[in-house]
Amino acid sequence: MNFKTIIAAALLLASPVAAQDVKIGIAAEAYPPFASPDAAGNWVGWEVDFINAVCAAGEMTCVITPVAWDGIIPSLTSGQIDVIMASMSITAERAQTIDFSDKYYNTPTVIIGTKGVDMAPTPEGLAGKIVGVQASTVHADYVEKYFGPTAAEIKIYQTQDEANSDLAAGRIDAIQADSIAMDAFLASETGAACCDLKGAVADDPEILGLGVGAGVRKGEAELLGKLNAAIAKVIADGTYDAITANYFASSIYGD
């Protein structure tokens, strides 16, 4: 082995982020308008476009890797993926297990429910109602804490689509979820026919988090630094706003 070969090998070993594909974990379940498979099976949506922009800005070769939502953190910590970018809220509880990048969006949490039925997004307003929520989300934790004592039932779903379908079919009365995801559902033919917005829930940053960020394994300082620099670049150079304009009427970055 000559000197140049030795140096090249050493550089590869010293720069794992640059030397290999970065596996970006997204939820395997459709979550429009952030990420969902198109007719050809390709993943599309705001978050997919954002991932591609961040990877380009960070000069990283990324592979989008769908993983079941309820196993996405174990998939990260076990090394099956390198980054989570799946609309995951930054919370203190999750930060005990993984590290988070800077926030890249933050939208309100809302209740939607059966059209024509008066229900405020409060424990009193949902008293006696069946409330659906997706498993392993900040929304599930919030619903259990605030609405569980007064609701007739809290029904947990593995995917948001399942919760939406049950609401449309009249099997539950309401859903709590991210406002943007619920806007997309309410704009659909099914959602528009069955349901309407009941309002935003009272904020609880300890449960609902401080916005959405990318998750990495503890100790991955180099990768985390690349992600934060790339996110900042995408926001500063206008790419973020350009991507957002393709999906939303206004900014989703939040406060």
Distance, in Å, from the CA atom of 128 to the CA atom of 150, rounded to the nearest integer, reads: 6
Domains 15-106+210-245 and 109-208 share a fold: yes
Please report how the helices 221-236 and 46-57 are oriented relative to each other, as an axis angle in degrees rounded to 10: 110
Q: Are 203 and 195 contacting, i.e. CB atoms less than 8 angstroms apart?
A: no
pLDDT number for residue 8: 38
DSSP one-letter code for 121: S
Picking from 142, 132, 158, the residue whose alpha carbon sits closest to that of residue 71 is: 158
The answer to whether residues 144 and 212 touch, using CB atoms and an 8 Å cutoff, is no
Q: What is the pLDDT of residue 249?
A: 87
Q: Which CATH number is correct for 15-106+210-245, 3.90.1170.50, 3.40.50.300, 3.40.190.10, 3.30.450.40?
A: 3.40.190.10
109-208 has CATH 3.40.190.10 classification: yes
Q: Mind listing the pLDDT tens digit for each residue in 68-112?
A: 999 999 999 999 999 999 999 999 999 999 999 999 999 999 999
Q: Is the per-residue pLDDT at 184 higher than 80? A: yes
* pTM score, whole prediction: 0.84
Q: Where do the structural domains in the chain lie, given as residue ranges? A: 15-106+210-245, 109-208
At residue 4 the predicted structure's pLDDT band, cuts being 50, 70 and 90, is: very low
254 falls in which pLDDT band (50, 70, 90)? confident
Q: What tokens were used for 182?
A: 């619920």
Q: How many CA atoms, within 13 angstroms, populate the side-chain half-sphere of residue 60?
A: 29
SS3 label, residue 94: helix
- Per residue in 11-55, pLDDT (tens digit) is 333 334 444 699 999 999 999 999 999 999 999 999 999 999 999
**Size of the chain in residues:** 255
Interacting residues of 77 by C-beta distance below 8 A, sequence separation 6+: 97, 98, 217
Pairing of strands 22-27, 62-67: parallel
Instruction: Report d(CA 9, CA 211) in Å as an integer.
Output: 40
Tens of pLDDT along 198-211? 999 999 999 999 99
Q: Give the whole-number percent of the chain exceeding pLDDT 70.
A: 92
Predicted local confidence at residue 200, as pLDDT: 96
Instruction: Name which of 161, 133, 156, 136 is nearest 31 in CA terms.
Output: 161
Question: Quick one: what percent of the chain has pLDDT higher than 90?
Answer: 91
Q: Is 89 helix (H, G, I), strand (E, B) or coil?
A: strand
- Tens of pLDDT along 116-169? 999 999 999 999 999 999 999 999 999 999 999 999 999 999 999 999 999 999
Residue 57 clears pLDDT 80, i.e. is over it: yes
**C-alpha separations of 152 from 120, 190, 232 in Å:** 15, 25, 45
CB 133 within 8 A of CB 207: no
Q: Do β-strands 43-44 and 36-37 pair in parallel, antiparallel, or remain unpaired?
A: antiparallel
